[in-house]
Structure 1
């Protein structure tokens, strides 16, 4: 549902909570926004300039704007993580392209994407963290 989003989208990190990364994807002009929940073991944010246009082990090669979320077919991280997982699970590595930052996450599941009618609705979404007071 998010493929073909107007370029360049902006990706905002809403935090990692209980092993789930929460990202908000907002188009450069007003329109539909998205929330992404990605159960992950590792994630990182990179300055976008060159990162999103490089080939990261995907069949589609470099980012052309037609496909928003890229999944790596091979990478050194996938190989290393698969070799060390104690129960032999197959890790999956995803790249989320942004106009400012790109995020990459490694986990064992697909991301869950939520569509919002506008960016304000997306900004209000995210993990709810409650502090426990003694």
Structure 2
């Protein structure tokens, strides 16, 4: 779900109420999890109370959008979510798990290549030189 995602001019006059209702209803369906894109994809602004939406769903809540290691750890510690999904950080860091474990700085994503349709920005981000990567 993406309560605040305005991509392609999508909007909702009352996303808080709408998505609380959706989360409540989905919670009765036996879903394995609810994956929520928190905020707008293009900004970090959040105008919806995601904790309330999380509390409306009685299952696993996966938070996504704009999380770094510290913010993810805080959200998990505060029980704001059960899991954190990393989209853009994984795109720009093929070794993201190791980088997060060892505090290696992350590659900077190139947003100009996100929807380009070729391999640039999709498979050409470098692995860290600070680790021995094996497949």
Q: TM-score range by the shorter chain?
A: under 0.3
Report the structure, 1 or 2, having the larger strand content.
1
TM-score for both structures, normalised by structure 2: 0.23
Report the structure, 1 or 2, having the larger helix content.
2
Task: Tell me which structure has the larger Cα radius of gyration.
Answer: 2
Q: Larger RCO: Structure 1 or Structure 2 (Cα < 8 Å, ≥ 6 residues apart)? A: 1
